[in-house]
Amino acid sequence: MPRTARDVVFVDGVRTPFGKAGPKGLYAETRADDLVVRAIRELIRRNPSLPPERVDEVAIAATTQIGDQGLTIGRSAAVLAGLPKSVPGYAIDRMCAGAMTAVTTTGAGIAFGSYDVVIAGGVEHMGRHPMGEGVDPNPRFLADKLVDPSALVMGSTAENLHDRFPEITKERADAYAVRSQNKLAAAYEAGRIQPDLVPTAIRSVEKGYGLATEDEPPRPGTTVEDLAKLKTPFRVHGNVTAGNAAGLNDGATACLLAAEDVARELGLTPRMRLVDYSFAGVEPEVMGVGPVPATEKLLARNSMTMDDIGLIEINEAFAVQVLAFLEHFKIADDDPRVNPWGGAIAVGHPLASSGVRLMNQLSRLFEERTDVRYGITTMCVGMGMGGTVLWENVNWEGAK
């Protein structure tokens, strides 16, 4: 039977406030699965016209799929969130692009006709599960010289990028990081970040129960002079510091996707339309350049150039990685299209959850920027990959 691909829309997205990983962080004594359950429940609460039994799939990503991030977390979180037992779920791992892959995979399923409505997201509790916990890399990676030894240390891959692009100096990276902090602070002040945040219960044996209502990582008021004093832990006299890189963080995200006709049927209001997506591989030791070929492939397939893209939400794993992307596409370091409300250097990067944070932020920007038709969400991925998703603004004034 012939099939016609359906349009896929991003209806809504939420996230927990992001916390700092470690024994003093917001979520030090809070379970990872409880974070993503909170996000799923909030999605259902915010969209009362959606019967929970109409959710066809729950795809949740986690980089470290053990402990309270294991047990096929998409299914276990769906059950814990109170969705009907008829709603299936599964887990995804594409490191930092986990939630992004949850969206593209289930979105493709909607386009194909296998699903009508899905929930996709990610969670990472880096305090409970540090990156690489329980991993046993095959010795042939190094013995057969398949990758450079630095490929398995993300901070070292960022230093490698500085080597490859000597024009991206530490001073440029620090200046970019300060702008990220300032933009996030301004967005908070204007109340633009808060609508995506789900107040989340936290517990502490010592302090009892509390409520997380805002992100913990931001450092408003950071200056270039402050960052110049920080140590370079990945290389003596290096360029990468805790100030020009995303930190180690805990948090969860979730979003609601639907076929456009089903969204109308159920009274759901789309925020943006999924146009296309692309993933690409690069040398693992310079994984930060991954967004470049992923974006090139995507633009070429759609007969577009970067001039057609009005908003760019790029994950700030490291400032140098963002700057390498901008350098390649001849975009200024302070181009207003890029992360207008700040990025992961300021707000945090709980690995597998971050892709949906980028989408949440882009969808909010689309609501304000009806003059913009297309935007992208893009990110680098550990082990040498990049991913980019192309979105269309449903509120674009040119369509009216």
* Four-CA torsion 223, 226, 228, 233, nearest 10 degrees: -120
What phi-psi label fits residue 15: left (phi over 0), alpha (psi between -120 and 50 degrees) or beta? beta
Note if the pTM is more than 0.85.
Answer: yes
User: Is 96 a catalytic site residue?
Assistant: yes
Label residues 120-143 b or e (16+ Cβ within 10 Å = b).
bbbbbbbbbbebeeeeeeeeebee
Catalytically annotated residue among 96, 125, 162, 255: 96
Q: Token pair of 209, please?
A: 């129960």
Q: Token pair of 151, please?
A: 């490929």
- Output the tens digit of pLDDT for each of the chain's 400 residues: 667 789 999 999 999 999 999 999 999 999 999 999 999 999 999 999 999 999 999 999 999 999 999 999 999 999 999 999 999 999 999 999 999 999 999 999 999 999 999 999 999 999 999 988 988 999 999 999 999 999 989 999 999 999 999 999 999 999 999 999 999 999 999 999 999 999 999 988 888 899 999 999 999 999 999 999 999 999 999 999 999 999 999 999 999 999 999 999 999 999 999 999 999 999 999 999 999 999 999 999 999 999 999 999 999 999 999 999 999 999 999 999 999 999 999 999 999 999 999 999 999 999 999 999 999 999 999 999 999 999 999 999 987 6
User: Is 129 a catalytic site residue?
Assistant: no
User: Is 255 a catalytic site residue?
Assistant: no
